């Protein structure tokens, strides 16, 4: 079983959206039963809470399912993961800080399994310009959540390819 975490700050906006999109695309590729997808936040502010209501709304509007209880990302999760997809560079730094605290139990080193989610996006003008951040929509409105979903939908096929060609081969 391959284990993937999507990670943001609060685990109620971006990483749950990324989780729902990734799970649906893995199912669509016939890989759903070989991959476990979870999401977590680098901060514990919302542990145990449902996703933000705007997250639930944008997902429902686009036909995605999500059953959520927010959790804080831990060294234990990093240790057992095959791939950790972070939403922005501050998440990257926070997760990287955990890497030296624990020994990886999977094929890749802790450092090598941490990747910017948006580095899998094929040809967005942002990613060409080197901006790999998924912008935090927490202080925004529904159009910011729609933008996050669109980024997730364009980045996820590259993740599915990586899972198929690298993690499952």
Question: Which residues of this protein are in contact with ligand 4NP, per CB under 6 A?
Answer: 8-14, 41, 45, 136, 138
Question: Which is closer to ligand 4NP, CB of 8 or CB of 26?
Answer: 8
The residue from 14, 23, 54, 118 that is catalytic is 14
Q: Which of these, 94, 89, 2, lies nearest to 44 by C-alpha position?
A: 94
Tokens standing for 38? 């979870």
Find the shortest distance in angstroms from Cβ 29 to ligand 4NP. Answer: 25
The number of angstroms, rounded, from the C-alpha of 156 to the middle of its chain's C-alpha atoms is: 9
- Asked if 8 is an active-site residue, the reply is yes
- Asked if 14 is an active-site residue, the reply is yes
Question: Which is closer to ligand 4NP, CB of 82 or CB of 133?
Answer: 133
Question: Which is closer to ligand 4NP, CB of 18 or CB of 83?
Answer: 18
How far apart are the C-alpha atoms of 71 and 12, rounded to whole Å? 9
| Residue 122 CB partners (closer than 8 Å, separation 6+) | 154, 157, 158
How far apart are the C-alpha atoms of 108 and 160, rounded to whole Å? 18
| Residue 101 CB partners (closer than 8 Å, separation 6+) | 75
The residue from 52, 82, 88, 136 that is catalytic is 136
Question: Which is closer to ligand 4NP, CB of 121 or CB of 136?
Answer: 136
How far apart are the C-alpha atoms of 8 and 2, rounded to whole Å? 20
How far apart are the C-alpha atoms of 139 and 85, rounded to whole Å? 22
Find the shortest distance in angstroms from Cβ 75 to ligand 4NP. Answer: 19
Find the shortest distance in angstroms from Cβ 125 to ligand 4NP. Answer: 22
| SS3 assignment, position 3 | strand
- Residues annotated as catalytic are 8, 14, 136
């Amino acid at each position: 079983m391959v284990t993937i975490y999507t990670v943001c700050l609060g685990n109620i906006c971006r990483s749950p959206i990324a989780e729902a999109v990734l799970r649906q695309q893995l199912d669509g590729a016939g890989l759903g039963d070989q991959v476990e997808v979870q999401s977590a936040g680098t901060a514990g502010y919302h542990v145990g809470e449902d996703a933000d209501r705007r997250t639930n709304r944008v997902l429902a509007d686009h036909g995605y399912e999500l059953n959520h209880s927010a959790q804080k990302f831990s060294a234990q999760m990093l240790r057992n993961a095959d791939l950790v997809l972070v939403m922005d560079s501050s998440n990257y730094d926070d997760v990287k800080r955990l890497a030296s605290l624990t020994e990886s139990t999977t094929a890749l080193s802790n450092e090598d399994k941490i990747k910017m989610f948006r580095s899998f996006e094929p040809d967005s003008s942002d990613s060409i310009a080197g901006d790999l951040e998924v912008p935090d929509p927490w202080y925004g409105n529904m159009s910011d959540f729609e933008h996050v979903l669109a980024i997730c939908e364009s980045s996820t096929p590259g993740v599915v390819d990586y899972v198929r060609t690298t993690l499952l081969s």
